[in-house]
Structure 1
Amino acid sequence: MLVTIKAHRQSLVCILSGSNYQNFYGQPGYPPQSGYPPQGGYPPQSGYPAPQGPGYPPPYTSSPGFVPPPAGVPYSQPAANPYTTPNQAMYGSSYGGDEPLTERVENFEFSDKSIRRGFIRKVYGILMVQLSISLGFIAWFTFHIPTKQYVQHHTGLWWAAFAIMIVCLITMACCGDVRRKAPMNFIFLFIFTLAESFMLGLASSTYDTDAVLMAVGICAAVCFGLTLFAFQTKWDFTIMGGALCAAVIVLMLFGILAIFIQGKTITLIYASCGALIFSLYLVYDTQLMMGGKHKYSISPEEYIFAALNLYLDIVNIFLYILTIIGASRD
Structure 2
Amino acid sequence: MSKSNLPPSYEESAHHQYGAQQQGGGYPYPAYGFPPQQGGYSSQGQPGVHPSDGPWYGQGYPGSGMPSFIPAFTPSGMPSSNPGDTEDFVADGLWESMSVRHAFIRKVYLILAAQLALTASIVAVFTFVDPVRLFVIKYPGVYWASFAVYFVTYLVLVCCEKPRRRYPWNLFLLLIFTLAMSYMTGTIASYFDTKAVFLALGITTIVCVAVTVFCFQTKVDFTSCTGLLCVLGVVVLVTGIITTIVLSFQYVPWLHMLYAAIGAIVYTLFLAYHTQVLIGNRSHTLSPEEYVFAALSLYVDIVQIFLFLLQITGSSSE
- Please, what TM-score do these two structures have when normalized by structure 1? 0.73
CA 222–328 in structure 1, closer or farther in 2 if over 3 Å, else same: farther
CA 314–90 in structure 1, closer or farther in 2 if over 3 Å, else same: closer
2:206 is aligned, of 211, 214, 221, to 221
Q: Secondary structure at the match of 2:286?
A: coil
Deviation at 1:78, TM superposition (A): 4.2
Deviation at 1:175, TM superposition (A): 2.1
Q: Does 1:174 align with 2:156?
A: no
Note the alpha carbon deviations across 1:132-165, whole angstroms, 9 max, x for none. Answer: 0000010000000010001110111101101111
Q: Does 1:122 align with 2:107?
A: yes
Query: How far apart, in 2, do the equivalents of 1:102 and 1:162 lie?
Result: 54
State the one-letter code of the partner of 1:132: A
Q: Secondary structure at the match of 1:261?
A: helix
Q: Does 1:102 align with 2:87?
A: yes
Q: Is the 8 A contact 1:268 1:328 kept in 2?
A: no
Q: Does 1:56 align with 2:33?
A: yes
1:306 is aligned, of 280, 294, 299, to 294
Q: Which residue of 1 aligns with 2:129?
A: 144
How do residues 201-240 of structure 1 correspond to structure 2 at under 5 angstroms? 201-240=186-225
1:270 is aligned, of 250, 256, 259, to 259
Note the alpha carbon deviations across 1:43-84, whole angstroms, 9 max, x for none. Answer: xxxxxxxxx85763568x9xxxx976512797244466xxxx
Query: How far apart, in 2, do the equivalents of 1:95 and 1:164 lie?
Result: 54
Query: How far apart, in 1, do the equivalents of 2:258 and 2:207 lie?
Result: 19
Structure 2: segments with no counterpart, 5+ residues: 1-28, 42-47
State the one-letter code of the partner of 2:33: Y
Q: Which residue of 2 aligns with 1:321?
A: 309
Deviation at 1:105, TM superposition (A): 1.2
Q: Which residue of 1 aligns with 2:71?
A: 89
Query: How far apart, in 1, do the equivalents of 2:316 and 2:76 lie?
Result: 76
Note the alpha carbon deviations across 1:250-294, whole angstroms, 9 max, x for none. Answer: 1111111111223110111111111111111111100000002x1
CA 90–105 in structure 1, closer or farther in 2 if over 3 Å, else same: closer
Which gives a bigger RCO, structure 1 or 2 (Cα 8 Å, sep 6+)?
2
Q: Does 1:291 align with 2:280?
A: yes
Q: Is the 8 A contact 2:163 2:290 kept in 1?
A: no
Query: How far apart, in 1, do the equivalents of 2:164 and 2:147 lie?
Result: 20
Query: How far apart, in 1, do the equivalents of 2:106 and 2:300 lie?
Result: 18
Query: How far apart, in 1, do the equivalents of 2:315 and 2:75 lie?
Result: 78
Query: How far apart, in 2, do the equivalents of 1:321 and 1:67 lie?
Result: 91
Q: Does 1:260 align with 2:245?
A: yes
CA 162–67 in structure 1, closer or farther in 2 if over 3 Å, else same: farther
Deviation at 1:326, TM superposition (A): 2.3
Q: Percent identity between the aligned chains?
A: 38
Query: How far apart, in 1, do the equivalents of 2:162 and 2:67 lie?
Result: 62
CA 68–120 in structure 1, closer or farther in 2 if over 3 Å, else same: same
State the one-letter code of the partner of 1:267: H
Q: Is the 8 A contact 1:141 1:204 kept in 2?
A: yes
Query: Please, what is the CA RMSD of the aligned residues?
Result: 2.9
Q: Is the 8 A contact 2:192 2:317 kept in 1?
A: no
Q: Secondary structure at the match of 1:251?
A: helix
Q: Is the 8 A contact 2:196 2:315 kept in 1?
A: no
1:183 is aligned, of 168, 193, 196, to 168
Deviation at 1:327, TM superposition (A): 5.6
Q: Is the 8 A contact 1:251 1:273 kept in 2?
A: yes
Query: How far apart, in 2, do the equivalents of 1:203 and 1:95 lie?
Result: 62
Q: Does 1:158 align with 2:143?
A: yes
State the one-letter code of the partner of 1:156: G
Structure 1: segments with no counterpart, 5+ residues: 1-51, 81-87
Q: Is the 8 A contact 1:268 1:327 kept in 2?
A: no
Aligned length: 265
State the one-letter code of the partner of 1:206: Y
Query: How far apart, in 2, do the equivalents of 1:183 and 1:227 lie?
Result: 29
Query: How far apart, in 2, do the equivalents of 1:134 and 1:210 lie?
Result: 18
